[in-house]
Amino acid sequence: MSGTPTLASSGRAAIWPWLLIALLIVIADQFTKAVILGNYRYGDQTVVTSFFNIVRAHNTGAAFSFLADAAGWQRWMFTGIGVAAAVFITWMLRSHAGQRLFSMSMALILGGAIGNVIDRMMHGYVVDFLDFHLGGRHFPAFNLADSAITLGAICLILDELLRMRRKR
């Protein structure tokens, strides 16, 4: 055995389980988007329930189609933000891998961010397909990557609230 300490032997928790979770999110996200791209044309929809449809939508903007009508530069800006976020989150995971809730939130956000960056790079837009509606009003369509990012943000807030409570 060499004298080089491993993450586990150095007292630091391993980052690999969190990266595996992020990878599984990317795989699930890209698989579901491939199914939509292979079976739906832009604008097609399938009614599933009285409040939920499967649709094929393209989002060239960010959340809630922010900047979707811009001239195209937003593709590269949001791709750059996604890549920068992935690098920063990976660094945070290395620093805090032993903090379970925090690391889970970071892994969820990382997987979602990478899933949407892949779309922007491959298609120039993010593929959205989950369409919830009520009383004729539709929530903006979203995808599994967006769901992971949202769940990760909720977990991050919960982690901070629990951390503040422990300090009291």
Given 29, 119, 131, 146, the catalytic residue: 146
DSSP 90-129: HHHHHHHTT-HHHHHHHHHHHHHHHHHHHHHHHHSSEEEE
User: Is 29 in the active site?
Assistant: no
Whole-angstrom Cα distance, residue 135 to residue 141?
16
Which of helix, strand or coil describes residue 88? helix
Element (H, E) at 20: helix 16-39
Whole-angstrom Cα distance, residue 158 to residue 168?
16
Given 119, 128, 131, 159, the catalytic residue: 128
Active-site residues, by number, are 128, 146
